[in-house]
Amino acid sequence: MSDDLGFGIDIGGSGIKGAPVDLATGELADDRYRVETPQPSTPQAVAEVVNQVLEKFGWQSAFGCTFPAVVQHGVVRTAANVSKEWIDTDIETLLKNATGHDVAAVNDADAAGIAEVHFGAARDKKGVVILTTLGTGIGSALILDGLLVPNTELGHLVIDGEDAETRASAGARENEELGWQEWAKRLSRYYAYVESLLWPDLFVVGGGVSKKPDKWLPYVECRTPIVPAQLRNSAGIIGAALVASSHSTGP
């Protein structure tokens, strides 16, 4: 197995996808393979699908995986879009037992942030970079000089008396049928609040809306430079593979 090849799996509420990753370039080394997330998405059911994804590629080494929750030292602490059985589950031990391989688990937005730092919009950026993923909710990754500060939950900041993601996520835009400019006003309020707390040097915005930034990004008002993410749907897989690689090589 090449030292430049890693493997990442992105576990989401609706799909579980994975692929080998060229760690030197950040590109997927093969077409990603996707399986519907089992319902109910219990730990054992998800572990079986993860093993299925690995077997699809014949992967026989350590791998990384994302999870849509706070993951603290390998233990899942929250469960918004998956079975509540995940809370307090040691996901790394669970998946190692299911697959026979070492696992490094990381929050999904954190994985995307790591990928963007290495190969995307945040590459070579010094200072504080905040990546937000705008989807059903708002995920966040806080990066300082290229290093991750894990498990920030900036989508759940209370702004004007409401949970931020209930007002400013892409899901909120769709549910309320907001126009792009109207939604951008809500984003402006959100990003202005975040920058008042953390004074970032750069915002990177991921999620499906990063594919069409011209529709909304010009209307977002904040003092911090703000750019769309570059790696899009591959960011989680790439970031997970990078995390696994760093764990296997040690400090």
pLDDT digits (tens, 9 = 90+) for 24-36: 999 999 999 999 9
List of domains in the chain: 5-110+234-249 (3.30.420.40), 124-229 (3.30.420.40)
d(Cα 108, Cα 10) in Å, to the nearest integer? 7
Q: Residue 81: what pLDDT?
A: 77
pTM, 2 dp: 0.93
Other C-beta atoms lying within 10 Å of the C-beta of residue 28: 17
Q: Residue 34: what pLDDT?
A: 97
How many percent of the chain have pLDDT more than 70? 98
Q: Tell me if residue 226 falls in helix, strand or coil.
A: strand
How many percent of the chain have pLDDT more than 90? 90
- pLDDT band for position 86 (cuts 50, 70, 90): very high
Helix 235-249 × helix 108-119 angle, to 10°: 80
Q: Residue 247: what pLDDT?
A: 78
Between strands 75-76 and 27-28, the pairing is: unpaired
